[in-house]
Amino acid sequence: MPAPVLLRPVAIGAHLFALFCVGVAVTLGFWQVGSWQSQRDEGTTDRSTQEPVPLDEALGPDDPFPQAAVSLPVTASGTWLGDSTLYVEGRDRGDASGYWVLTPLAVGDATDAATAPALLVVRGWVASIDPRPPVPTGTAEVTAWLQPPEGTAGVTDSDRSDDVIPQVRLADAIQHVDQDLYGGFAVVDTDADNTNAGAEGLEPVGVEEVPEVAATTGLRNLLYGLEWWIFAGFAAFIWLRWCRDEVVNAREPDPVAVDG
Q: Both 85 and 203 in a single domain?
A: yes
- Asked if the structure places residue 13 within a domain, the reply is yes
Of 31 and 82, the one with more pLDDT = 82
Q: Would 52 be classed as within a structural domain? A: no
Is residue 139 included in any domain, yes or no?
Answer: yes
| Whole-number pLDDT of residue 214 | 52
Is the pLDDT at 229 greater than 60? The verdict is yes
Please give the average per-residue pLDDT across 155-165, as a whole number: 80
Residue type (1 letter), 210: V
Number of domains in the chain: 2
Answer positive or negative: Cα dihedral of 53, 57, 63, 65.
Answer: negative
Asked if residue 237 and residue 161 are part of one domain, the reply reads no
Full-model pTM: 0.68
pLDDT per position as a tens digit, 171-182:
889 989 989 999
Q: What is the pLDDT of residues 81-93, one digit of tens each?
A: 999 999 999 999 8
39 dihedral zone (left: phi>0; alpha: psi -120 to 50; beta) = alpha
